[in-house]
């Protein structure tokens, strides 16, 4: 990303508790050219928790001792602040961003922002929001709200709840993770769930395999892996055969999705891979594809944290393009796809709740975790997954 893309933006982090998320935020700021990071920490400035988390120095960020002081400082400097609310809020894609000075607030990982400001998630949210600001500021593109929002379907029936989720899933959009890190996979699954990606493919060629439906991954992904259909492959070739007819792009530093029209592709597979036989796709302003060919290696060496932010921002933009430029019929599941998704959810739900009839068959006497997983995968395979 070019230096100074968002030099007019300040990122404010209020009372953070997770140094890993702070490090991700710092990387997101650097990627988008944000030059100022303010940390509100109700602790002494020399507190090692603060300085270690952000490696603070005058060129990176500064500590503010309380929220009120930070808000007063921003107001005195004439800076407009943005945060989020699930209640009376404005859609991100309805807002117009320009070169005025702006501050984006991000809250504590567990509780969000205090009552003085509204709540917003941390690292992935920062990547998504700053990507939209960059789309407008760096590319000169206008706000583009969703043309056809879909109203949620409220029902107490479990099957109808599954169907309501199926109606929001994206047709023809698949994410592929090759030899992923567990934490990275969990973060990306959360993003896929949030942006309506129905299917993620896992490839284990050189790393130790794990089942994305395992209980350990349920905790790491906060349950998103139970709502995103997963397929597991032993080789890249096997996965590519399954995705015959798809346009393939590699998530890396490269030509930007922000100014592209890839959202119009009816079948698109986004790969998180070290391979270079796919055209790269990133958030940069049209960088040379070969200049950062090792970006995936660099991300992997850093526990994949940067990769999860890149995946989230890319998915957010692709889904925005799809929903703003086409009717829901072109990107929503049809009846057969909805039915397949509901059957996936019912099978996974049965595995999670072993008292249900589908999950009987003497599983209680067997090795509880992977015995049930084996039966579940066999059932999903019979369904065509």
Which DSSP helix (H) or strand (E) runs through 248?
strand 247-256
Q: Which of 14-18, 272-276, 315-319 has the lowest mean pLDDT?
A: 14-18
User: CATH topology of 9-139 equal to that of 170-331?
Assistant: yes
CATH superfamily of this structure's domain 170-331: SPOUT methyltransferase, trefoil knot domain (3.40.1280.10)
Strand order in the sheet with 102-106: 61-64, 36-40, 9-14, 102-106, 80-82
More confident residue, 367 or 96: 96
Distance separating alpha carbons of residues 37 and 200, to the nearest angstrom: 34
- CATH fold group of domain 9-139: Alpha/beta knot (3.40.1280)
How confident is the model at residue 81, as a pLDDT?
Answer: 93
Residue 62 has pLDDT above 90, yes or no: no
CA-to-CA separations, 153 to 164, 167, 216, 227, in angstroms, rounded = 5, 9, 30, 16
**Phi and psi, residue 189, nearest 5°:** -60, -40
- Record the tokens describing residue 232, joined without a space: 């597991």
Residue 304 has pLDDT above 60, yes or no: no
Q: Which of 82-86, 103-107, 202-206, 245-249 has the lowest mean pLDDT?
A: 82-86
Average pLDDT of the chain, as a whole number: 77
Q: What is the mean pLDDT of residues 368-376?
A: 75
Distance separating alpha carbons of residues 331 and 333, to the nearest angstrom: 7
Q: Which of 312-326, 334-348, 351-365 has the lowest mean pLDDT?
A: 351-365
Reported as a pLDDT band with limits 50, 70 and 90, residue 368 is: low
Distance separating alpha carbons of residues 223 and 141, to the nearest angstrom: 35
Please return the burial class of 107, using the count of CB atoms within 10 Å of its CB with bins 0-12, 13-18 and 19+.
buried
Bridging pattern class, strands 170-178 and 268-272: parallel
**Phi and psi, residue 252, nearest 5°:** -165, 180
Q: What is the mean pLDDT of residues 33-55?
A: 66
> Within 13 Å, how many C-alpha atoms sit on residue 143's CB side?
12
Helix count and strand count (H, E) for the chain? 13, 11
**Phi and psi, residue 358, nearest 5°:** -65, -20
How confident is the model at residue 289, as a pLDDT?
Answer: 35
Residue 238 has pLDDT above 90, yes or no: yes
Reported as a pLDDT band with limits 50, 70 and 90, residue 31 is: confident
Instruction: Show me where the domains of the chain are located.
Output: 9-139, 170-331
User: Per DSSP, which regions of 107-246 are E strands?
Assistant: 170-178, 197-203, 229-233
Reported as a pLDDT band with limits 50, 70 and 90, residue 360 is: very low
Q: Which of 152-166, 225-239, 351-365 has the lowest mean pLDDT?
A: 351-365
Residue 40 has pLDDT above 80, yes or no: yes
How confident is the model at residue 232, as a pLDDT?
Answer: 94
Residue 12 has pLDDT above 60, yes or no: yes
How confident is the model at residue 177, as a pLDDT?
Answer: 96
More confident residue, 74 or 183: 74
Residue 352 has pLDDT above 70, yes or no: no
């Amino acid at each position: 990303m070019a230096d100074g893309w968002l030099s007019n933006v300040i990122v404010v982090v209020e009372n953070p508790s997770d140094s890993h998320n702070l490090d991700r935020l710092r990387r997101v700021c650097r990627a988008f050219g944000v030059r100022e990071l303010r940390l509100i920490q109700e602790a002494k400035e020399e507190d090692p928790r603060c300085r270690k988390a952000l490696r603070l120095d005058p060129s990176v960020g500064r500590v503010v001792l309380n929220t009120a002081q930070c808000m007063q400082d921003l107001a005195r400097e004439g800076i407009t602040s943005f945060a989020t609310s699930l209640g009376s809020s404005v859609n991100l894609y309805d807002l117009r961003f320009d070169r005025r000075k702006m501050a984006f607030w991000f809250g504590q990982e567990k509780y969000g922002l205090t009552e003085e400001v509204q709540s917003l998630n941390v690292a992935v949210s920062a990547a998504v929001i700053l990507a939209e600001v960059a789309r407008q500021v760096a590319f000169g593109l206008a706000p583009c709200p969703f043309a056809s929002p879909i109203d949620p379907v409220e029902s107490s029936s479990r099957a109808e709840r599954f169907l309501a989720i199926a109606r929001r899933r994206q047709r023809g959009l698949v994410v592929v993770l090759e030899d992923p890190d567990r934490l990275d996979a969990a973060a990306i699954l959360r993003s896929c769930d949030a942006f309506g990606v129905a299917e993620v493919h896992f490839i284990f060629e050189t790393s130790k395999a794990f089942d994305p439906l395992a209980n350990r991954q349920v905790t790491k992904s906060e349950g998103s892996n139970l709502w995103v259909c997963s397929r597991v492959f032993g080789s890249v070739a096997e996965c590519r055969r399954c995705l015959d007819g798809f346009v393939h792009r590699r998530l890396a530093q490269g030509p930007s999705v922000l100014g592209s029209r890839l959202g119009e592709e009816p079948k698109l597979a986004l790969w998180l891979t070290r391979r270079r036989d796919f055209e790269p796709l990133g958030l940069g302003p049209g960088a040379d594809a070969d200049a950062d060919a090792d970006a995936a290696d660099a991300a992997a060496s850093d526990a994949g944290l940067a990769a999860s932010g890149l995946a989230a921002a890319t998915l957010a933009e692709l889904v925005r393009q799809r929903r703003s430029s086409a009717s829901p019929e072109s990107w929503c599941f049809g009846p057969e796809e909805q039915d397949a998704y509901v059957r996936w959810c019912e099978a996974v739900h049965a595995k999670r709740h072993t008292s249900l009839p589908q999950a009987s068959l003497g599983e209680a006497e067997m090795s509880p975790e992977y015995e049930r997983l084996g039966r579940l995968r066999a059932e999903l395979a019979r369904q065509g997954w």
